[in-house]
Amino acid sequence: MGHGHRGPGRALGLEKHKRARSTRVLLGSLWKYLKNYIWSIIFAASLIIVYSLFSLVTPLILKTGIDRATEENATMKILMPVIISFFVLVILGWIINSISTIILTKINSKMLHEVRTDLYRKLSYSDMSYIKNEQSGNITARVTSDTGELATGIQISTSIVAQLLLIIGSFVLLLVTNWVIALISIAAVPIAFGISSVLSFFGRKIVLRVRRAFGYVSGKMAEGLSGIAVAKSFNREEELATELRELNQQHYNYSKQFGFLMMFVMPSINALSYALFTLIIYTSGWLNKTTDVISLGDIYLSINLSQQFLFPIVMLAMSFPQLESAFGAMDRIIDIFDAKPAISDALDAKPLQEEDDSVHFKNVSFAYKERNYVLKNINFSAKPGELIAVVGHTGAGKTTLFSYLLPRFYDVTEGEICIGDQNIKEVTQSSLRQAIGLVSQEPFLFSGTVYENIVYGKPDATEEEVRSICERINADEFIEALQHGYNTKIVEGGKRLSSGQKQIITIARTMLANPRILVLDEATSRLDAYTESLVQAAQMELFKGRTTFVIAHRLSTIKDADRIIVLDHGKLVEVGTHEELMEKKGIYQDLYTTYYAYQGLEKVDINIEELEPEIVENPIKQKKKPARFSLNSKKKNS
């Protein structure tokens, strides 16, 4: 039976070394988004064609006006139709160009929105292996920079239509009006194309360096702001500023190189244009002297048409590298869309049954990379409603086993994990994860209100349900004491809240979702006595009636457990109660004597009704209201 398992070593990822996709494949992928706007694109393209025709007709009208103005019997009455026609064409051209620009801008913006939304949706359903293995900056670049590059390419491609029309139309008119000047203009094409191509080639390299350097600056700024407290504690503010200054200097140097390059782009093109115009004027003068058929209007028309012929060629030459860059961005975007998930539901996957909440690990082994095992031959069963404390040295495999393998963020390499009599590979991922609640060591809160964070796991929860849960775990008091209570905005993961407050909110969120099986990774950071008591009380409420695995760091939690399992170097080495494991004098006793026994506060109980406010140093800002809690510290005998 297939379970969609491809092994952790083959998790979803972006191919680092591969052949670029063909243009046909890239355009085929882009068509998925373009087809929704095909009629709008056709309409905008039609307007561009009309605008290009106006651009070609306008110099013909001016040529007529110049010729009439230079005649001996020229009067304003004769010139007025030409002047009116010119201004009508200019105004109509402006209106048509504005409409086409608005249409294409809207299409481009909508497509960009759709691509980014689809990318983010794809990433949100991606495997944990991909999210953890791929650099977050690389992922962000694909969603932001690459999509932006693609949007630029689409804009350029629409302008190419107008440029091609101008090239063809202006050359045809040049041939009709003066084939000699048309040949002179053609002679300038290789020179213009060569200059543009060379400058574009070097410009693209410099632009890539500028973007890369800007990425380093952005990354260092984000890192510095995140770790500013650490930098201050070691008096490293100046070093932090120096590192940023050096990266910023590199970005400045590359930007300066690009600026110098651009100093040569337009002057070079202008020099070529002036040379061409000078040659056209001398040629026109020579033709006028020898044939007496070249008028002043003809000279103007020749210069204008040659300019309309030459300038689009230059723009086309400079557009090709940008189009190539856009195709490269599309290729990288498709990498994400085409990537196959390492974890997928079996074809005959069934919902997880609700009758049995026992959990069984049967000969479970796991390796992130082939044959490099981090867990080996784990055999263990937890009864429904049992509280299991998991202990072990750092790197023993505790988080991998319970936080990654049990909810099937990764698939086991060998063996199987069962809930009741169902292999978790044979149940749907949605039903499995709905049954399992995860409370991580570092609480994470989303941007939004406190209320929105609590109902995150149960969006249809009522306000009464939320308040009931918060009152059960004594969270209602401190939430109401916040500036706007439950409607207080949370920013940047809850940086304005204490560690204890964030932990309690995440516990409330998990309780509201009401999972049948719980995995809790206790925070290692020590809290003040009052907040510690709130967190402990909240945890005990959370444990009730659930099969619970606690990656424990508090002695009180370990002693309250029904059983304790000890992991060491990826192997399950001891199982039993606190007393049983102490008698064995093994790894658990060593952990206890070197770490747990020296915890200053083992347990703090909350007694409702009896509070002496003067002995409570509560760091949580409270509103002025009658005190509700008292603290009595108790020590348990080991």
Instruction: Give tens-digit pLDDT for 117-148.
Output: 888 888 877 777 766 666 555 677 667 777 87
Cα–Cα distances (Å) from 56 to 51, 89, 220, 303, in that order, read 9, 11, 52, 13
Cα–Cα distance for residue pair 197/114, rounded to 1 Å: 33
In the structure encoding, which two tokens stand for residue 341, read together? Answer: 């998930």
In this prediction, residue 2 has a pLDDT band, given cuts at 50, 70 and 90, of very low
Cα–Cα distance for residue pair 99/120, rounded to 1 Å: 32
**What is the length of the chain?**
638
Could you tell me if 64 and 297 are in contact, meaning their C-beta atoms sit under 8 angstroms apart?
yes
Would you list the domain boundaries of the chain? 8-12+21-338, 359-634
The pairing of strands 359-369 and 517-521 is unpaired
- Name the residue with tokens 């009599």: 421
Cα–Cα distance for residue pair 191/188, rounded to 1 Å: 5
- The answer to whether residue 184 scores a pLDDT higher than 80 is no
**In this predicted model, what pLDDT tens digit does every residue of 273-328 receive, in sequence order?**
677 777 777 776 676 666 656 677 777 777 777 778 777 877 776 676 677 677 77
In the structure encoding, which two tokens stand for residue 422, read together? Answer: 């169902």
**In this predicted model, what pLDDT tens digit does every residue of 13-28 receive, in sequence order?**
444 445 667 778 778 8
**Average pLDDT over the chain, rounded to an integer:** 77
- The answer to whether residue 11 scores a pLDDT higher than 50 is no
Read off the pTM.
0.66
Span 401-426, average pLDDT: 92
| Torsion, CA 325, CA 329, CA 332, CA 336, rounded to 10 | -170
The pairing of strands 422-423 and 372-382 is unpaired
Cα–Cα distance for residue pair 505/541, rounded to 1 Å: 13
pLDDT at position 131, please? Answer: 67
Tell me the CATH number of domain 8-12+21-338, given options 1.10.10.60, 3.40.190.10, 1.20.1560.10, 1.10.150.130: 1.20.1560.10
Cα–Cα distance for residue pair 534/501, rounded to 1 Å: 9
The pairing of strands 422-423 and 414-419 is antiparallel
The pairing of strands 547-551 and 517-521 is parallel
Could you tell me if 3 and 426 are in contact, meaning their C-beta atoms sit under 8 angstroms apart?
yes
Span 601-616, average pLDDT: 37
Say what percent of the chain tops pLDDT 90.
15
Cα–Cα distance for residue pair 211/363, rounded to 1 Å: 49
Task: Return the closest-CA partner of residue 538 out of 504, 499, 496.
Answer: 504
In this prediction, residue 12 has a pLDDT band, given cuts at 50, 70 and 90, of very low
Cα–Cα distance for residue pair 508/496, rounded to 1 Å: 18
In this prediction, residue 614 has a pLDDT band, given cuts at 50, 70 and 90, of very low
The pairing of strands 571-576 and 563-568 is antiparallel
pLDDT at position 226, please? Answer: 65
Cα–Cα distance for residue pair 535/556, rounded to 1 Å: 12
pLDDT at position 536, please? Answer: 76
- The answer to whether residue 456 scores a pLDDT higher than 60 is yes
- The answer to whether residue 93 scores a pLDDT higher than 60 is yes
| Torsion, CA 165, CA 167, CA 170, CA 173, rounded to 10 | -90
Q: How many CB atoms lie within 10 A of CB 319?
A: 20
DSSP H or E segment with residue 437: strand 436-439
In this prediction, residue 203 has a pLDDT band, given cuts at 50, 70 and 90, of low
Cα–Cα distance for residue pair 14/540, rounded to 1 Å: 43
In the structure encoding, which two tokens stand for residue 383, read together? Answer: 């009864």
Assign domain 359-634 to its CATH superfamily.
Answer: P-loop containing nucleotide triphosphate hydrolases (3.40.50.300)
Most confident listed range (202-206, 251-255, 610-614): 251-255
Cα–Cα distance for residue pair 439/517, rounded to 1 Å: 11
Could you tell me if 424 and 408 are in contact, meaning their C-beta atoms sit under 8 angstroms apart?
yes
**In this predicted model, what pLDDT tens digit does every residue of 337-346 receive, in sequence order?**
877 777 788 8
